[in-house]
Structure formats: structure tokens, C-alpha cells
């Protein structure tokens, strides 16, 4: 596979850097390409206001709705895998996705902050976007903006390795009405409708999608129970057996805009979500999970409130529940702990309910010559207000599971966690100073004060130089943090992990250098270099969480884009990183050292487009203590053929993912021997889609 990946890189580099016959593209060509691929030249995530991507004081990427359609993606994770420096890995628990950015790879991925329209999607229990995730559809995404590197100076908690902002479509992005349906492998199907228009003076965008899948059924050859069987003399393991990745889904969004006001509401239901490789890394064909997410936000902004002032505020609400409609089988029937056999298996059902209220306001001031100063304040009320515990066991004083008869409610007697509440107050200031022609200095500072984890201050500094009309150079330095998740602070009565209320946030300091070079009107090259130092990493030590140790890393990301003709675009990126655990001075493990993504989009015969993409993931080491061989490399090839007609027409798309049926595996994280042969991913899959636009 390494040879395939190297040949891919060589081919992509040769194609993207050779000189085409045409000397330049005219303005008509550029307008055609903008229509075909959307606005990739601007970004708002770097400073909170719209600006040119090449001059943004961050290493950022933009993926448009047009890009998403071209690559044939059906889910957010497929899109993010195409971003340099980002790799999508998996947890055994429900096969939930985790975003490893620049070598920072953990089981649940709380170091990457995921936003939807600028508002955190973080759930407090685990500190990520939620383990009962079940994917995120792409039909209603207008664009995705990604910062690689620290973002806490603007976005606060959890923006440690990067920030991903999913921007949904407004009425302007989806004029008219669209009906769509998709079917595919693993008995996958979905149907949706979305509309954009006006109701009097109000801009209205609405989206509803219903879908489901039986999920792929790749084989786990050995699991955590396999190891217990060897030591206890039992034969309870269900391995070899298939992973369980099916679920049912409903997604809905409403977007209303009036003058300077915007209101959004959303609903995301995942029901009958199967447990992947098992929530305790033991195969569970019985348990089903459910999550329900209700969101709402109201915002107002006026960039020209007065001569020198712009103002804005946002209020948002999130209601999130993780439920177990069918109890989870943590260990299968016949398992043995401490000499006690569980004839019906070890069964549990930890459930949580939380609500989040976030209020924020900002002001920008441009009254100083060559300065744009932004001030912001906010308050978050994060309330995990109810928990429930159903199980068929208790814990001994030594933390060993003991059979306790039928499943019963232990929410009061022996809960896995009690309700918890966190309040956060913060303020920040940011100054964009154009101190000389072609030079800009952005300096920012944010202070977050937690009711349960103390305070943290995070600065940023970015120097941007337009060295020439076609060349921009950036030097960046920033600090960021991740707040402890409630499970890390307050878990109790857990045989595997106990909480520690004295935890402090994880921190990182990152220095970056970047170059953006418009080689010619049809060719763009971006190069970024980075190094970081993580401290106070939250880790499980002896069955409890502690701040211990650090990690340092360095790497590079190269992006190229070449519009060969008006009908052919080639894009590619290559990411390289090395990350070292400071305690062991060995590789931190699991994240790919080398990652290549390349795509070709060809428009032909008027309304047809063919796209092919290659994804090569290589050199994933194991950390100290995990003696297994390196995680196997893989190369996948995807093909998409679609039509691109206007309104009152049908559009069709066919996609083949993993065309050559590569054996794709994501690492099973520590304790790595729980699933010794890692997590198998989907084999070849085919999807067909039809959309009718009114």
C-alpha cells in the first residue's frame, strides 16, 4: 500500500505543478469556476468576521456545498477526511467518529471543537459532540470552515487541536424547493426535502430528512471478552462476530432571517443506534442507544451600528439526552468476574439529560486608524440535570462487578454519576492592526472562568505579510485548552474509570508558519508548518483520571489546486506529522504520520460531472505499552458520476466508495489489547441518489 500512496503523491504533484498550455484563464472562466465550486476565497471562523482566506490570521480550510457534491459525500465524516491535517478515526462505542487533528488522537476526540453556525455542539458528559452520534447529513450544509491549530482565544473551551464550523443553508443558499432520495449498500436509505424562499419580509429555509441503515457487518475476530475467557476459563465471547452499526435518523432545521435578525431551530434524532464493537469493547448484538438533540438560537448583528461601531449578540439553547431503549450488554452471557458468573451477561444502561444556555455579545470598533478592535463577553450555563442508572450488578469495595439479580434502577443506590452543573463566564479582546502597507498583526486574549475547574487565559498572535500580489506569508502563535468532561470529573461506581473533581484543563501552545502562493491564475499552493506542546493531559491512570504528562509534535501540510481547464479541476493535499509522548519519549500513536488526499473533477457533455478521489493513510504507530504491530496502511479510491442541471429538472448521482474493497482499519485505543485486530471499517459500498428541484 505504501507504494501505491507514494505513486499517488508523485502523480498528483506532477499534475498539479506542470505548466498548462493556456497562459491564464479569463474572467469568464473564473466566474464559471466560482459557480461550480462556491466561495472558497473567504472565511469567517478565523476572526469572527468575513475576510479573505489567504489573509486570515489562522491556518484554515473551506469546503463548500459544491465541493461536497463533487466528492459524492453522504456524511460529514467523509468530507472532513479530505481536509489536510485531519483524519477521522473511530471509537468501539457505537463506532462514533473522532477527529484526529495534527497528531492529537484520542478515543472520543474532545480536543476538536465542533460548531454548528458558530455554536458549540459539545455534550458535557464526554466533552465531545456526543458518542451517540450516528452521522451528520450533508444536504443542508452550505459550507464547512476548519481551523487547524488553537482556537481558544476566540472560541474558548475544547478548541485545542482545531475548530470545525458547520454552516447550514439559508434561503439564499437553497432557493426553491428540492426533493431528494438516496439508497445504497447495507440497506441504507434516506429521503429529504428542503426549501428556501420568502414569507413576506422573512427569509425562510427549511430542511427535513428521514433515513436509516442496517450498517456494515465486518468481523471482529477477538474482543475484550476473548481475553477474559482465557484468564477465567469461560467461553462467553461472541467473537468472531460482526460489528453492529445500524441506526434510524431524523434531521430537521429551520432558518428564519429578517433584516439584522436570525433565528434557527434544529432537531437531530438517532434511534436504535447499535453499539459498534460494544461500549465496553465486547461485542453486543442486543443493546440499542438513542440520542435526541434539540437546538435553538437567536442572533442580531449590525456591522454599521454607528460610524465606528458594530454590535451583535447571540443566545442559544441545547437540549440533549442519551438514552438506552434496549439495555446495553457490557459483557455477554457467561462472563465471569472475581469468580462470579453472570448467566445473563453484565447489563447496564447509563442515561443522561442535559440543557445548555449560552449568551454572548460582541462589539467592534474601527475608530482608531488602521485598527479593528473586537470585544466579546459571554456566559454559559451547562447543566447535566438528570442521570439514570439501570444495571444487574453492584460493585464490591475493590470495584469488581458482583451479580445482583434482574436489572434494577440503581439511580439512587449506586449511580454512575450524579447531576452536575458548570457555569462559565468569559471575555475576550482582539485587535487587527494594519501597521504598514501589506502588513497586519492580529493579537487576541480570552479569559474563561469555570465554576468547577478554575480559570484559564489564552492568547494568540498572528503576523500576516502580503509579500507580493500572489504571495502571502503568516507567522502564528497561540494557546488553547480543553476543559475536563463531566465523566472525567464526576464518574463514580465505575469499575473502569473514576472521576477526579480536582482536574485542571489540558493546555497546548502552538507555533505555525504558512505560505499561500497563487502560482498563476489557475494554480494555488498552500504550505503550513507547525509545532506544538501539550501539557496537563487528562489520562486514565490506575482506574482514575489525572492531569499527567505532555505531548509535543511537529508537522507540515501541503495543499495544491489546479484548474487545468474550465472543465477540469485537480486538488490534492499531503499531511505529515510526528507526535511524541514526553513521559516515554516514544510515538504518541494512532494518528497517521503520512496522509494524502487527491481528487479530480471533470465536467463534460454540458451537465455531467465525474469525480475520482484517492485517500492514503499510512504510518500509524502504537504508543508505549501497546506491543502490537503498527496499524496497517490503506488506500481507498472513490468514484462519483452526477448531473448538474438547473431548476425544474432531475439530478442524479451514483457513487462507489472504496472501489477496490481495501481492508480499512481504525486503531482500537488503549487498552489496545481489548480489540487486538483493530476496528474494521466499511467495505465497498454503492449509493444512488435522485434530486428534483422546483
Task: Count how many residues are written for the chain.
Answer: 694
Task: Give the pLDDT score at 542.
Answer: 83
Q: State the alpha helices, DSSP H only, in 514-652.
A: none
3-state secondary structure at position 17: helix
Q: For the chain, give every domain's residue range.
A: 2-693
Task: Give the pLDDT score at 606.
Answer: 83
What percentage of the chain reaches a pLDDT higher than 90?
87
Task: Give the pLDDT score at 543.
Answer: 84
Res. 107 pLDDT band, cuts 50 70 90 = confident
d(CA 306, CA 396): 66
Phi, psi dihedral angles at 8 (to 5 degrees): -60, -45
User: What is the rounded average pLDDT for all residues in the chain?
Assistant: 92
Encode pLDDT of 41-94 as tens digits. Answer: 899 999 988 999 999 999 999 999 999 999 999 999 999 999 999 999 999 999
Q: What is the DSSP code (8-state) at residue 453? A: T
Cβ-contact 552, 532 below 8 angstroms: yes
Those residues with Cβ within 8 angstroms of residue 413's Cβ, 6 or more apart along the chain or in another chain: none
The set of cell numbers assigned to 636 is 481507498
Whether 37 has a pLDDT exceeding 80, the answer reads no
Task: Give the pLDDT score at 23.
Answer: 34
Q: How do 586-587 and 634-643 pair as beta strands?
A: unpaired
Q: DSSP readout, 288-309?
A: EEEEEEEEEEEEEEETTSSSSE
The set of cell numbers assigned to 471 is 504571495
Q: DSSP readout, 25-42?
A: --HHHHHHHHHHH---SE
Higher pLDDT, 32 or 580: 580
H helix and E strand count, the chain: 7, 42
What number is the average pLDDT over the span 383-411? 93
152: exposed, middle or buried (Cβ count in 10 Å: 0-12, 13-18, 19+):
buried
456 beta partners? 448
Cβ-contact 161, 508 below 8 angstroms: yes
What number is the average pLDDT over the span 24-50? 67
Whether 342 has a pLDDT exceeding 90, the answer reads yes
What number is the average pLDDT over the span 120-148? 96
Encode pLDDT of 403-429 as tens digits. Answer: 999 999 999 999 999 999 999 999 999
Task: Give the pLDDT score at 36.
Answer: 59
The set of cell numbers assigned to 585 is 519519549
Task: Give the pLDDT score at 24.
Answer: 38
Phi, psi dihedral angles at 69 (to 5 degrees): -65, -40
Cβ-contact 338, 141 below 8 angstroms: no
What percentage of the chain reaches a pLDDT higher than 70?
94
Q: Which CATH architecture has domain 2-693?
A: Beta Barrel (2.40)
d(CA 596, CA 4): 11
Q: DSSP readout, 52-81?
A: EGGGSSS-EEEEEHHHHHHTT--SHHHHHT
Res. 285 pLDDT band, cuts 50 70 90 = very high
d(CA 578, CA 591): 9
d(CA 152, CA 668): 29
Res. 286 pLDDT band, cuts 50 70 90 = very high
Cβ-contact 175, 203 below 8 angstroms: no
Phi, psi dihedral angles at 673 (to 5 degrees): -75, -5
Task: Give the pLDDT score at 35.
Answer: 52
What number is the average pLDDT over the span 635-650? 90
d(CA 548, CA 538): 6
Amino acid at each position: 500500500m505504501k507504494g501505491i500512496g507514494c505513486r499517488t503523491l508523485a502523480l498528483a504533484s506532477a499534475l498539479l505543478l506542470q505548466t498548462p498550455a493556456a497562459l491564464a484563464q479569463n474572467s469568464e472562466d473564473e466566474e464559471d469556476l466560482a459557480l461550480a465550486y462556491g466561495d472558497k476565497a473567504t472565511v469567517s471562523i478565523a476572526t469572527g468576521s468575513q475576510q479573505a482566506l489567504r489573509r486570515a490570521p489562522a491556518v484554515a480550510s473551506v469546503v463548500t456545498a459544491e465541493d461536497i457534491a463533487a466528492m459524492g459525500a453522504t456524511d460529514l465524516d467523509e468530507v472532513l477526511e479530505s481536509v489536510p491535517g485531519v483524519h477521522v478515526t473511530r471509537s468501539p462505542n457505537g463506532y462514533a467518529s473522532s477527529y484526529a487533528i495534527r497528531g492529537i488522537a484520542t478515543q472520543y476526540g474532545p480536543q476538536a471543537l465542533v460548531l454548528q453556525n458558530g455554536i458549540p455542539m459539545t455534550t458535557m458528559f464526554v466533552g465531545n459532540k456526543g458518542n451517540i452520534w450516528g452521522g451528520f447529513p450533508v444536504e443542508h450544509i452550505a459550507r464547512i470552515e476548519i481551523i487547524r491549530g488553537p482556537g481558544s482565544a476566540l472560541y474558548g473551551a475544547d478548541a485545542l487541536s482545531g475548530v470545525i464550523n458547520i454552516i447550514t443553508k439559508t434561503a439564499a443558499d437553497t432557493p426553491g424547493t428540492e426533493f431528494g432520495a438516496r439508497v445504497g449498500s447495507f440497506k441504507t436509505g434516506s429521503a429529504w426535502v428542503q426549501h428556501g424562499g420568502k414569507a413576506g419580509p422573512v427569509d425562510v429555509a427549511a430542511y427535513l430528512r428521514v433515513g436509516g441503515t442496517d450498517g456494515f457487518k465486518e468481523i471482529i475476530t477477538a474482543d475484550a471478552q476473548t481475553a477474559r475467557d482465557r484468564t477465567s476459563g469461560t467461553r462467553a465471547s461472541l467473537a468472531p462476530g460482526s460489528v453492529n452499526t445500524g441506526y434510524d435518523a431524523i434531521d430537521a432545521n429551520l432558518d428564519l432571517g429578517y433584516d439584522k435578525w436570525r433565528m434557527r431551530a434544529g432537531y437531530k434524532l438517532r434511534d436504535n443506534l447499535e453499539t459498534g464493537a460494544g461500549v465496553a469493547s465486547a461485542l453486543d448484538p442486543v443493546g440499542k442507544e438513542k440520542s435526541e438533540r434539540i437546538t435553538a438560537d437567536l442572533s442580531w448583528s449590525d456591522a454599521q451600528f454607528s460610524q465606528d461601531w458594530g454590535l451583535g449578540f447571540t443566545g442559544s439553547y441545547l437540549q440533549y439526552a442519551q438514552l438506552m431503549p434496549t439495555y446495553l450488554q457490557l459483557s455477554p452471557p457467561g462472563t465471569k468476574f472475581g469468580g462470579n458468573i453472570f448467566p445473563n451477561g453484565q447489563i447496564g444502561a447509563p442515561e443522561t439529560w442535559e440543557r445548555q444556555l449560552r449568551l454572548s455579545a460582541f462589539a467592534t470598533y474601527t475608530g482608531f486608524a488602521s485598527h479593528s478592535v473586537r470585544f466579546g463577553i459571554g456566559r454559559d450555563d451547562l447543566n447535566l440535570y438528570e442521570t439514570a442508572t439501570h444495571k444487574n450488578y453492584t460493585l464490591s469495595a475493590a470495584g469488581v462487578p458482583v451479580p445482583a439479580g434482574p436489572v434494577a434502577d440503581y439511580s439512587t443506590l449506586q449511580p454512575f454519576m450524579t447531576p452536575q452543573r458548570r457555569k462559565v463566564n468569559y471575555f475576550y479582546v482582539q485587535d487587527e492592526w494594519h501597521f504598514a502597507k501589506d502588513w497586519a498583526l492580529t493579537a487576541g486574549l480570552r479569559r474563561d472562568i469555570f465554576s468547577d475547574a478554575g480559570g484559564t487565559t489564552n492568547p494568540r498572535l498572528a503576523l500576516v505579510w502580503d509579500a507580493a500580489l500572489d504571495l502571502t506569508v503568516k507567522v502564528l502563535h497561540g494557546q488553547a485548552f480543553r476543559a475536563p468532561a463531566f465523566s472525567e470529573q464526576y464518574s463514580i461506581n465505575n469499575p473502569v474509570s473514576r472521576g477526579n473533581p480536582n482536574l485542571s484543563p489540558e493546555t497546548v501552545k502552538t507555533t505555525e508558519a504558512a505560505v499561500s502562493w497563487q502560482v498563476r491564475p489557475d494554480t494555488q499552493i498552500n504550505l503550513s508548518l507547525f509545532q506544538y506542546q501539550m501539557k496537563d493531559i487528562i489520562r486514565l491512570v490506575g482506574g482514575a483520571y489525572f492531569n499527567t504528562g505532555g505531548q509535543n509534535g511537529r508537522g507540515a501540510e501541503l495543499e495544491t489546486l489546479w484548474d487545468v481547464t474550465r472543465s477540469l479541476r485537480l486538488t490534492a493535499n499531503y499531511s505529515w506529522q510526528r507526535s511524541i509522548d514526553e513521559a516515554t519519549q516514544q510515538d504518541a500513536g494512532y494518528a497517521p504520520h503520512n496522509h494524502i488526499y487527491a481528487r479530480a473533477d471533470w465536467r463534460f457533455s454540458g451537465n455531467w460531472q465525474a469525480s475520482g478521489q484517492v485517500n492514503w493513510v499510512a504510518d500509524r504507530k502504537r504508543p508505549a505499552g501497546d506491543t502490537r504491530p503498527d496499524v496497517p496502511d490503506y488506500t481507498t479510491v472513490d468514484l462519483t458520476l452526477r448531473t448538474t442541471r438547473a431548476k425544474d429538472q432531475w439530478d442524479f448521482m451514483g457513487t462507489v466508495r472504496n472501489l477496490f474493497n481495501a481492508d480499512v482499519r481504525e486503531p482500537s485505543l488503549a487498552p489496545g489489547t481489548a480489540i487486538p485486530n483493530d476496528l474494521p471499517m466499511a467495505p465497498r459500498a454503492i449509493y444512488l441518489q435522485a434530486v428534483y428541484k422546483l
